[in-house]
């Protein structure tokens, strides 16, 4: 069993998925309604924030995804009492936070990247933190140097041992002056979760300002933190002595919403995404419209559909917010294989986010990935050495194939490709999709997809 399949099986087990493989009879437009709940990339961070409090927190709209299960278990390992009503409301009681045994921490190694965000909260609560090997999607090197440099600036001492990364704070944590080399989402969250209880003021420059980060700041403010977001990616944090628990409804998952929108377009269908909000999707909606998709913003969600006629090509550069999210490109590329002409997608955030293209080509797509990226007169984002561009020539009919999911978003694009292609496709490593898409097989049924879960 290869490493990816192992990752997938662990995630599938966490969710109790009956099968790690789906057989899809594709070529049918998806029609119907799906609901998106709390954003994976906010919920898991808000769960970590609960560790900073002196009283219990309540988080609503938590999706049933494997990453939530992993973080809940990590909190439990540290003595946080985690309860759920089974329908998206979680309660975290951190009154008995305690040190964990290495074996318990190690048992969760390799399953998620969120444990890195436990550093600051654990240093505040216990004076030390032991972080296991990190997991997460294999979409690039994903170094943690920004995180460690920021923690050192707060006064943490970082030691690497055979057990993982051990951090201590012999003199406590003190507010710091930090400039990130790149507006990293995770490193910004690290600074927020550490700065709120550090002594004195923290100034963070070149911070990420994704909506999920703004929602995390809202959570921390409810807890008693003082955080000011200034223009030009500057965030000030005035450290406080105590934080209380919060009550919060998580913002919707805009990456999931964009994924279903792409599925509607690629399959020639019509999907109402209940819970989607225009404000956090404006960049995506512009591109969706340019490709030829139609959408209708309603009070309780957004309807996305293929209006008929030909789709057109586009040029996209992924970027930090408010740019086009890297997480949106993989699902949309499937729709671009059906557009008339040559589309260009420049991936500037991760060095390996076109891993899914090989399978699409095996299904009949015409995608060329250019390492190092392509110049283009219309490009605005500063080139990064790690970038790649994809040239997508369309339209190409897709035919069925046996494919293996490479990562979360790439995996969803495989699902869309299989739903678009005529014939029976077999998609394996479904557990990787379950890391971030809740009940996706039930949602596919509601949309009229024809499939069965294989043994
Ligand atoms: N980077 C470094 N050093 C660091 C941290 C990041 O060089 O210490 C680099 C990364 O290698 C990458 C870039 O900075 O080239 C951006 O990484 P970032 O830290 O912003 O990403 P992340 O926090 O690891 C989160 C989401 C990703 C999403 C990115 C970009 C979570 C759990 N993950 O990752 O989501 O793509 O931000 O918005 O919030 C997904 O949901 O499928 C997913 C991968």
User: In the predicted model, is pLDDT for residue 187 greater than 70?
Assistant: yes
Instruction: Return the ligand 1 atom nearest residue 384 CA.
Output: 15
Closest CA to 12 of 299, 441, 434: 434
Q: Ligand 1 within 6 A of 399 CB?
A: no
DSSP state of 54: S
pLDDT tens string 207-253 = 999 999 999 999 999 999 999 999 999 999 999 999 999 999 999 99
Tell if the pTM clears 0.75, that is, is over it.
Answer: yes
Question: How remote is the CA of residue 114 from the centroid of ligand 1, in Å?
Answer: 11
- Positive/negative CA dihedral, 320, 41, 272, 264: positive
Q: Which residues contact 377 (CB under 8 A, 6 or more apart)?
A: none
Residue with CA nearest ligand 1 atom 6: 184
Cβ burial of 145 (10 Å; 0-12, 13-18, 19+) is exposed
Measure Cα distances from 356 to 16, 315, 326, 410 in Å: 25, 19, 14, 5
Question: How remote is the CA of residue 277 from the centroid of ligand 1, in Å?
Answer: 23
State the distance between the two ends of the chain, measured CA to CA, in whole angstroms. 16
pLDDT band for 124, please (50, 70, 90 cuts): very high
Return the pLDDT at 75. Answer: 96
Most ligand 1 atoms within 8 A of CB, residue of 113, 149, 182 to mutate: 182
pLDDT tens string 317-359 = 999 999 999 999 999 999 999 999 999 999 999 988 999 999 9
Instruction: Return the ligand 1 atom nearest residue 407 CA.
Output: 42
pLDDT tens string 33-45 = 999 999 999 999 9
Q: Is 119 a catalytic residue?
A: no
For residue 43, the tally of other CB atoms under 10 A from its CB is: 29
Q: Ligand 1 within 6 A of 140 CB?
A: yes
Measure Cα distances from 315 to 226, 324, 342, 436, 439 in Å: 40, 11, 9, 27, 32
Cα separation, 303 vs 30, in Å, equals: 12
Return the pLDDT at 190. Answer: 98
Q: Ligand 1 within 6 A of 144 CB?
A: yes
Catalytic residue among 137, 213, 421, 433: 137
Residue with CA nearest ligand 1 atom 17: 184
User: In the predicted model, is pLDDT for residue 106 greater than 70?
Assistant: yes
Lowest mean pLDDT among 81-85, 130-134, 180-184: 130-134
Residue located via tokens 């969706």: 288
Cα separation, 20 vs 4, in Å, equals: 12
Most ligand 1 atoms within 8 A of CB, residue of 63, 119, 140, 142 to mutate: 142
Residue with CA nearest ligand 1 atom 26: 41
Main-chain dihedrals φ then ψ at residue 184, nearest 5 degrees: -70, 135
């Amino acid at each position: 069993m290869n490493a990816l399949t192992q990752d997938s099986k662990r995630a599938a087990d966490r969710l109790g998925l009956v099968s790690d493989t789906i057989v899809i009879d594709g070529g049918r437009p998806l029609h119907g309604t799906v609901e998106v709940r709390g954003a994976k990339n906010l919920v898991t961070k808000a769960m970590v924030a609960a560790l900073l409090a002196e009283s219990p927190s309540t988080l609503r709209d938590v999706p049933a995804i494997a990453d939530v299960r992993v973080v809940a278990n990590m909190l439990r390992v540290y003595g946080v009492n985690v309860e759920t009503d089974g329908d998206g409301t979680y309660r975290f009681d951190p009154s008995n936070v305690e040190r964990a045994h290495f074996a318990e921490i190690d048992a969760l190694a390799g399953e998620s990247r969120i444990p890195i965000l436990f550093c600051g909260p654990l240093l505040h609560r216990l004076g030390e933190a032991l972080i296991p090997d990190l997991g997460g999607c294999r979409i690039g090197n994903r170094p943690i140097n920004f995180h460690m440099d920021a923690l050192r600036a707060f006064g943490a001492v970082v030691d690497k041992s055979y057990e993982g990364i051990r951090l201590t704070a012999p003199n406590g944590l003190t507010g710091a002056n930090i400039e990130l080399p790149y507006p990293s989402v995770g490193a910004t969250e690290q600074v927020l979760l550490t700065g709120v209880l550090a002594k004195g003021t923290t100034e963070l420059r070149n911070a990420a300002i994704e909506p999920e980060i703004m929602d995390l700041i809202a959570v921390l403010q409810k807890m008693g933190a003082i955080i000011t977001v200034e223009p030009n990616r500057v965030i000030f944090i005035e450290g406080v002595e105590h934080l209380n628990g919060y009550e919060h409804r998580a913002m919707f998952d805009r990456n999931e919403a964009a994924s279903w929108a792409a599925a509607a377009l690629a399959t020639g269908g019509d999907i109402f995404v209940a819970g989607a909000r225009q404000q956090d999707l404006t960049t995506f909606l512009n591109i969706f419209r340019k490709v030829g998709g139609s959408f209708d913003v309603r009070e309780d969600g957004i309807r996305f559909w293929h209006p008929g006629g030909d789709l057109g090509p586009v040029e996209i550069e992924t970027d930090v917010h408010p740019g086009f999210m890297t997480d949106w490109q993989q699902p949309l590329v499937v729709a671009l294989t059906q557009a008339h002409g040559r589309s260009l997608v420049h991936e500037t955030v991760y060095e390996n986010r076109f891993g899914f293209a090989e399978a699409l080509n095996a299904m009949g797509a015409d995608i060329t990935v250019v390492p190092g990226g392509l110049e283009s007169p219309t490009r605005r984002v500063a080139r990064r050495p790690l970038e790649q561009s994809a040239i997508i020539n369309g339209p190409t009919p897709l035919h069925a194939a046996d494919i293996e999911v490479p990562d979360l978003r790439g995996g969803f694009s495989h699902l869309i490709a299989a739903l678009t292609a005529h014939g029976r496709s077999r998609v394996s490593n479904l557990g990787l999709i379950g890391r971030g898409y809740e009940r996706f097989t039930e949602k596919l049924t509601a949309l009229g997809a024809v499939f069965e879960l294989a043994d």
